[in-house]
Structure formats: C-alpha cells, structure tokens
Structure 1
Amino acid sequence: MATATKSTLSLPGTLHLYPTKEGSNPVFESADLSSSKVLIFLPGLFDGLGSVPYLTFLNYELEKMGWSLAQPHLSTAYKAFGRGSLQQDADEIEACVNFFKTARGKTEIVLMGHSTGCQQIMRYLTSEPARSKVDKVILQAPVSDREALASYPSFPPTFASLAAELYAAGQRDELVPGGKEAFAVDVTVYRAWSLACEGGDDDYFSLVSPLPLDQTFGKLPLSTPALFLFSSEDEHTPSASTTQPALLKAWEEAVPKELKFRGATVEGSHALKPEEGEERAKGWEKLGEEVGGWLRS
C-alpha cells in the first residue's frame, strides 16, 4: 500500500488542454501515463486541482494498478460555482471524456466524484440524450447541500425561501441578495435555488423530498456500475449514522434491479482529511481497497 507523506505531495504528470464549447480547459494527468485506463476525478464546491486531501494517496494507488489519474479543471472550480450549473459541469466533463477517448486513446474510463462531484456524475448519467459512455462510476461523500445548509447555524434562515421566490419570478441569472453572506461567494438566483431549495437541480441526495428517485436513481444506466462511498463522520450530513443507511436503502430500492450497484462506508470526515499532525487519514486504506476492488471488478 503506497503511503502519501509530506515528501510525496508533488505529482509528476502532464497538463493537457481539452476542447470545450467555450474554448479549452486544462486537465492534469498523472500516475501511469502509458495506461489505456483513466480515472477522472471530480472534486466538490470550492475545490480544484489537488485540493482533496487523499488525491496524492489515490494517485499512487492507481499507479500501482496501472491506471492514470485525470483532474480536469472545470469552469466552476474553486469559487466560480456560484455562477455555474450542473449542466455546464456535465458538458465539460463529457468534453473531457471524449478527449481521453480520442486524443489519449483510453479504452476504459471511470468517473469518481467527491461531494458535489457526485451530483455532477448523477447529472452526467441521467442526462437526455445520453452522454458519452463511461465504464463505471464512484461517488465518494455524496451529501445533500440543501439539508447541510439548513443545519448550519450561520446559514441565513430566510435565504432559501428568498431564492425560491426570485427563481419563480424568472430572475435566475441575477445575483441573489445575501448570496455572499450565505456562500462566501456571489451566487446567482438559479444556483442558490439549485443548491438550497427543495427540488433544486442539485437536490439528488436529500433524505426528505429529494428530486423524484424514479427520475434520478431510477434512470441510472445499466451499463455503468455505480459505487457509493459514504464518510462515516461526515460533518455535512446531519445525523450521518442514521441518515446514510436510510439513503442507501432508498437508493437501492430505486435503481434498476439489473444495475450493479453498491454502497459502503469509509471511516473519516467528509473529505477524509487527516487529523492535525497526521500524514494520512485512518480511512485512506479502506478507500484504496474499495476503489481498487471496484476498478478490478
């Protein structure tokens, strides 16, 4: 088992440019660059290249298995999510998938999402018409933004209702008042509604009144096996120990019966961040086992 330490935080690799509707975006490829197999990693809100704590560890695990790791830079990375959408993300992810199929000759492509990267994968897989096929998906730390935001003492209690009111009034592209106080960045009415309101486009993983499961999990393609990895101490999931099993049960009942679908739990926080003074988190070993087993299955 490779160990990511302070001396291995740099990742050798290649920075590519993949074409998008607006021009081109960078994507960093590392691990086994000669491999025909690539795992495309999609991080969460406020994240970007290399910002998820376990990525260096994951890189070396993939290298041992003969895979490359790709980290695309989406237009909504870091603090730019407030003016974006899952639709925009899915378009750019598809462009990245197509780049690796054609320009890089990859024959096996897996998407792995962390946090909002999980919503991006759900949007990608359930889009109509169907997008470019990927072989498998891994969703690590899927959480409901709506339920998480409502649980934060600092989140303005009337913000969601204001966003819903302005969205219903057709002001989707305007900046929502108070958005910077709620999210620490400027946010459009549309993205505020999508993240914070019942029925918003990001609302895949709520326990209470999510987007209709028959239109989300029920539409997952049979050709794309899906692994969901919860974080046992996820600080963004209220009552995680009871919420996560209930979510998994609901999703298992909603997915097509023929779909290869599995859920598991990895010990640790939302992003599996190491404790202060530690070089690796206790859950990384299990994460490596789950990811490696899924890729080999």
Structure 2
Amino acid sequence: MNPSPPRSSKTSWTWLSGIVRGRSGKLENPQMTNNVNAGDVGGSVTRKNHLRGVLFKYGPKAAQVAFKTGEFKRQVIFIGGLTDGFLATEYLQPLSIALENEKWSLVQLLLSSSYTGYGTCSLKEDAMEIDQLIAYFINKEDSEGVVLIGHSTGCQDIVHYMRTNAACSRAVRVAILQAPVSDREYRATLPETAEMIDLASSMIREGRGMELMPREANPDAPITAYRFHSLCAYMGDDDMFSSDLSDDQLKMRLGHMETTPCQVIFSMADEYVPEYVDKKALVERLCRALGGAEKAEIEWGNHSLSNRVEEAVEAIVNFVKREGPKGWDDPWS
C-alpha cells in the first residue's frame, strides 16, 4: 500500500534518472553516493537519483519493464505500493550500493498496476507478472534465487504471490515486508469511503465489478468496483494487515508464509496507520501469523522511511545476508 486518497527482447545499458514518486522526502545521507563518479564503471550510482544499470523487458505487456543494478546471479526484487514505480522510496539508491557490495543485484520492476494502473488491476495479476520476472531471471540469467521486498501494497503482492505456489516461487529465498499496513483502516478515516463501499458492493452484486467507480471514490486514478472493494472492504482481497482482524483471520491470510524466512519492517510513525492502532501489538501479531517472522521496528520512521534511510538499508541488508544464502546450492531441490 501506498494508500492514495492510491523472453525479453534484447537488454540495453541505460541511464535512468529521477523517475520518482512525489511522496518521498530528501535523501538523508547523500554522501553515501558522492564517492561514486560517472566514470566508475563498477558502480551503479553516479549521483543522487541517478542509477546505472540494465533496463529490460521481462514480459510481453508494455508495462512489463524492469531495471537492474549490479550484474550478479542473486537478485533482490523491490515491489512498490499503490502509485509506485521506479525509485519509489529514498532507500533504494543507497540499498543498491549496499547490495552491490554484497554481490547482489537490485531489481525494480514495473507492473501493469504501477503508477496509476493499480485501480484496474488486482493482486492476482500482480502475482502473475512477478512470476514472469522471476522466470526471466531463472531462464535467461541462471538465477541462483531471489529475495522479494514489498513496500506498502507490495507486501500484499508478496503474500498473494507466495500463496499461489507457482513453480518460480520456489526460487524465493527471503520475503521482506516494509510497511505492511491496512489500506482499509486508513481509508476508513476518509468521509466518502463508507458510501463508496456500499456502491462497490452493489456493482459487484450486479455483475459490474470490472466497471469504474465514480471519480470521487478515488480521485488519483480510475478504479474498478472490484479493486475499490478489495482495498476498502472488510476481508476484501487486499485486507491482510488490519489490526481488527482476529488471530485466526490473520493466520488464514498470512500463515502460508511460515515456510519462507520473513522480516517485517514496521514504521512506528507510519502516517497511514490510524492513531488508535497499537503498532507494537500489531507488529507482534503479524509476525506470529507469518509463522515467526523477524521484526524490525523503526522508531519515528514514516511510511516510506524517507526519514530513516540508513536504518532501512541496514535492516534489509543484514537480513538478506543472514537468511538469503541458506539452501542456495540448488534452489529447485
């Protein structure tokens, strides 16, 4: 979630600059990138909001494009939230440096649901495209396995994808959920939501779930009755991390993740978590439901961790280094 009120042809070397969502703040530690010069071929970062790597197609749809920094056989795949695209969070640039130092590639992918496409897509479609990307790395680049990092609604994508038990999901070694928060609980704080849930429910009953809702339901992007209901209704398809779900309901939605090493990175000042929610209690419950996931509570961190970049990178890299390589000799055994 970023809950907004929201094989290949040939690869080519490219400069990718400044494709950024507007919600992020300033990079807090720019000196991390200043020691990498444009002429340093081995480095993926040249200056702030500039990454050097490979831009490639991983599927037949126009949106199915990904950007990779680092030429390694182990990939960390970042899956953004609603309205996200390339360079969606401030920590991605320093994360690419840290992962490259550990011999990992960082991959940012575009899905059909990226940017303003989320309203006419679904978790099922996202999961299919994630599977296509992993298949690309297995078949085209002899991948030794992947790590999935979800930001916001990207966390729902990971949970849903791992439930599909798709063949390529066996190559997923680690799952990291950064800001797994409830779209439903946030949107319930908006005055128009209740009326629009009723409308969406009515449209779905009438067989019009794929038709668009009125503009006031979601001013930022067109949205179908199905996707609005999925994001906003109790036990909708996207409703996985709400504080009012029972332990049994959380287990039903998240319990299949117990076979995958999992980390929950939770921002303790997340602006999209209502004030009435006990964040510490919620994190504990989510970790239990996930089968004993490791928790990383970032004090004062906002939703995208733009104010806690170094802590975000440290938490991710330490977990990947510790859990990622286990069983890597044969990802398919």
The question of a shared fold, defined as TM-score above 0.5 by the shorter chain, is answered with: yes
Tell me the amino acid that sits aligned with residue 290 of structure 1. A
Report deviation, 1:201: 0.6
1:84-108 alpha-carbon deviations (Å, 9 max, x no partner): 0000000000100111112112202
Match of 2:181 among 138, 143, 154: 143
- The more displaced of 247-256 and 197-206 is 247-256
Tell me the amino acid that sits aligned with residue 305 of structure 2. L
Distance 1:44 1:269 in 2: 15
Report deviation, 1:156: 4.2
Match of 2:305 among 242, 266, 272: 272
1:240-273 alpha-carbon deviations (Å, 9 max, x no partner): 7x532222232233334xxx62111124210122
Residue 148 (structure 2) pairs with residue 115 (structure 1)? no
TM-score computed with the length of structure 2 as normaliser = 0.77
1:200-223 alpha-carbon deviations (Å, 9 max, x no partner): 11001111137922322212151x
Report deviation, 1:57: 1.6
- 1:179–1:186: 8 Å Cα contact kept in structure 2? yes
Distance 2:196 2:269 in 1: 27
Q: Alpha carbons of 1:163 and 1:294: their partners in 2 closer, same or farther (altered >3 Å)?
A: same
Tell me the amino acid that sits aligned with residue 231 of structure 1. S
Correspondence 1:57-76 to 2 at 5 A: 57-76=94-113
Match of 1:228 in 2: 264
Residue 285 (structure 2) pairs with residue 292 (structure 1)? no
TM-score computed with the length of structure 1 as normaliser = 0.86
Report how many aligned residue pairs link the two structures.
Answer: 279
- Gaps of at least 5 residues in structure 1 are 274-280
What is the root-mean-square deviation in Å for CA atoms of aligned residues? 2.3
Match of 1:278 in 2: none
Runs ≥4 residues deviating over 6 A: none
SS for the counterpart of 1:69 is strand
Match of 1:175 among 212, 215, 236: 212
- 2:263–2:295: 8 Å Cα contact kept in structure 1? yes
* Greater RCO, CA 8 A, separation 6+: 2
- The more displaced of 199-208 and 247-256 is 247-256
Tell me the amino acid that sits aligned with residue 151 of structure 1. T
Match of 2:235 in 1: 199
Match of 2:274 in 1: 238
Match of 2:19 in 1: none
